[in-house]
Structure formats: C-alpha cells, structure tokens
Amino acid sequence: MALRESFPSVLEAARAGEGWAVASLYESLQPRVFSYLRSRARQEAEDLSSEVWLDVARALPRFEGSEDDFRRLVFTIARRRLIDFRRRTAFRRTDAVAHETLADMPSGDDVESMAIEALSAEEARASIAAALTPDQAEVVLLRIMGGFSADEVAAIMGKRPGAVRVLQHRALAVLSKCYQSNETRSLPEAM
C-alpha cells in the first residue's frame, strides 16, 4: 500500500511523533518487510521486524527523501538486522521448526502433490530460499518483495550492479532447473 502523493506530509507528521502518521508508514511497508524477514528467518521474523521498525523510528528525524528512498532505507535496515541475527546464531546450528510445519510438509512419496499452484506465497519464498545460495536468494527476494531494481538491490547489498545481475541470472537458471521436472507434469494445470 503505497502512500504516493501523501508521503511527504505523512513523513513530516511522523517526524513530529504523530501516531497516525507512524502507523501509516508502518502499514505501508510492514507486510513486505515481514515477508522478506520470514523468508530468511522464519521463527524470528516478528522480533526482527520490530527491531527493524524501531531502528527506522530512530533514523526518521534525520531522514529526507522520497517514498522510494524510505523503502530503500527500511529494507537496508531489515537486511542488516538479518545479517546481525545470522551472526548471532552462527554458532547455534539448530533451527527451531514448529510442529505444524513438519506435519504440513509433504512426504518423500508425495512429490507430485508439490504442484506449484498449490504453493502459498510463503511456501514459494521458502522454496526459493531453499533452492538458491544465500546471495542469490537475497537478490531474488529483495527484488520481488521490495520491488527494487538491480541497481537498488546492489546499493542495499553493497555490491556492484553487475554482480547483482550475475547473481539474479544464476538464480533464475537454478530455479528453472529445479522446477523443470514439475513443469512437465503440472504446468498445464498450473497455467
């Protein structure tokens, strides 16, 4: 939900500490930020998103720019929070998995039921993250969740635009190989 023309006034009010304006900024981006964080850190997405928005609030009095700039700022903070979280948990090599998740996972002989059409948005993001390397998944998820161009993703990730394009190209190639077998069976129904 983009604010578009109302963004400057909302931003000004949010800087003044108006609750409604802060809520507008939050609601305009929170679903995408939360989805991005959940695709990378499933269990800690809620905590991480709260931390991200608190950081955004601290940076808000100094922020100047357009709505796209604000979106870039929010996702940059989200990515840094994610990196911090990964560093913290680097020595803890266990990922907590909810019981429901295990119960919902298809068994080994139920591969055909993994038709792409049946995937929810969250499962689609999870399958992308599982199939790709961390950098490739980062590029793809920032592009589709944040709506950023390759250049913007490069700025957020601190990489060169050419490197980001190479990463996204390889990511698409890997994904095409992963889903090629499924495509032959289930694509006619899916499309």
Footprint of another protein on this chain (CB under 8 A)? 14-15, 17-19, 22-23, 26-27, 30-32, 34-35, 38-39, 46, 49-50, 53-54, 56-62, 116-117, 119-122, 124-125, 127-128, 140-141, 143-145, 150, 165, 168-169, 172-173, 175-177, 179-180, 182-183, 187, 190-191
To the nearest whole angstrom, how small is the minimum distance from the Cβ of residue 29 to another protein? 9
Distances (CA, A) of 120 to 127, 143, 165, 187: 10, 18, 27, 16
Query: In whole angstroms, what separates CA 95 from the centre of its chain?
Result: 19
To the nearest whole angstrom, how small is the minimum distance from the Cβ of residue 134 to another protein? 16
> Other CB atoms closer than 10 Å to residue 44's CB: what's the count?
19
DSSP 8-state symbol, 108: G
What amino acid occupies position 32? R
Closest CA to 68 of 156, 161, 135: 156
Cβ distance to another protein smaller for residue 128 or 157: 128
To the nearest whole angstrom, how small is the minimum distance from the Cβ of residue 99 to another protein? 18
Cβ distance to another protein smaller for residue 24 or 76: 24
Enter the tokens of residue 13. Answer: 């009010």
User: For the chain, what is the radius of gyration of the CA atoms?
Assistant: 19
Cα–Cα distance for residue pair 53/188, rounded to 1 Å: 42
E strand residue ranges, the chain: none
To the nearest whole angstrom, how small is the minimum distance from the Cβ of residue 187 to another protein? 6
To the nearest whole angstrom, how small is the minimum distance from the Cβ of residue 104 to another protein? 16
Please identify which residue in the block is written with the tokens 């032959």: 184
Cβ distance to another protein smaller for residue 66 or 176: 176
Cβ distance to another protein smaller for residue 87 or 180: 180
Cβ distance to another protein smaller for residue 48 or 76: 48
